[in-house]
Amino acid sequence: MKKFRLPRKTKKALKGNLWLYPGDEKGNSLMAHPTKYQKDYTALKKGDVRNIIDPKNSRSRRKTFREKLDKENIVSDQELRSYVDDIIREDLRNSSYNTLIEAKHHPDAVKAYYNFVNAYQLYADGKDSYGNICCMAIDRAKELMKERKKIKK
């Protein structure tokens, strides 16, 4: 059996990227290695495999991602409480809720509040990966609300 080989320039262009097959019903996807395996390379040529790290498009994709999370979206405190109760484990709910309430009125941390609300709404629509962003937004809000100690000389 003949070993699968690619031309050097093609192989070099494909290296350094993460290639994934489309996700299943749970959102899990298999990793592809188009430089090593013929079936992955043919799937890449058909367009079935997508590149996670796309250097040509990463800035515009990141910008649209940030716009989606940073848009101003204020919800009532009751609704915020239900969001926190749904996504945060029981022993951290009160502290997380209080952090988000403070962030809502804090000029530096308000963006973290918007990130939490928008990420939760996307999570509720069925995009499970946004659940992690909700948790990171709470941590970011805590970090932004800390008072920085000034070094006196």
| Residue 49: C-alpha distances to residues 28, 45, 60, 79, 147 (Å) | 14, 8, 20, 39, 46
Do 27 and 128 form a contact (C-beta atoms < 8 A)? yes
Among the residue ranges 21-25, 32-36, 76-80, the one predicted with the least confidence is 21-25
Tokens representing 106 are 């804090």
- Taking only the tens place, the pLDDT of each residue in 92-131 is 899 999 999 999 999 888 999 999 999 999 888 887 778 8
- Averaged pLDDT of the chain: 85
- Asked if pLDDT for residue 59 goes beyond 70, the answer is no
Task: Please give the pLDDT value at position 54.
Answer: 62
- Asked if pLDDT for residue 57 goes beyond 60, the answer is no
Quick check: pTM over 0.85?
A: no
Model confidence at 38, pLDDT cuts 50, 70, 90, reads very high
Do 19 and 31 form a contact (C-beta atoms < 8 A)? yes
Give the residue, 153 or 41, on which the prediction is more confident.
41
Beta bridge partners of 50: 20
Tokens representing 67 are 């716009």
